[in-house]
Amino acid sequence: MSYQSHTKRLQVTDESTETMQKPQIETEVLNVRLPESTIEILDQFIEKKIFSSRSEAIREFAREYILENNIKQ
- Residue-wise pLDDT for 5-57, tens only, equals 444 444 444 444 455 666 788 889 999 999 999 999 999 999 999 999 999 99
Within-domain flag for 37: yes
pLDDT the model gives residue 47: 98
* 15 assigned to some structural domain: no
Is residue 55 one of the residues assigned to a domain?
Answer: yes
How many Å apart are CA 3 and CA 50, to the nearest integer?
8
- Phi and psi dihedrals of 32, rounded to 5? -130, 135
Look at residue 63 and tell me if it is in a domain: yes
Tell me: pLDDT of 60 over 70.
yes
Query: Does position 4 have pLDDT exceeding 60, yes or no?
Result: no
Estimate the crossing angle of helix 36-47 against helix 54-68, to 10 degrees.
Answer: 100
Q: Give residue 73's pLDDT.
A: 78
**Residue 2 covered by a domain:** no
pLDDT the model gives residue 34:
97
Q: State the residue range of the domain holding 41.
A: 32-73
Domains in the chain, number: 1
What's the burial of 35, exposed, middle or buried (CB within 10 Å: 0-12/13-18/19+)?
exposed
User: Looking at the whole model, is its pTM more than 0.85?
Assistant: no
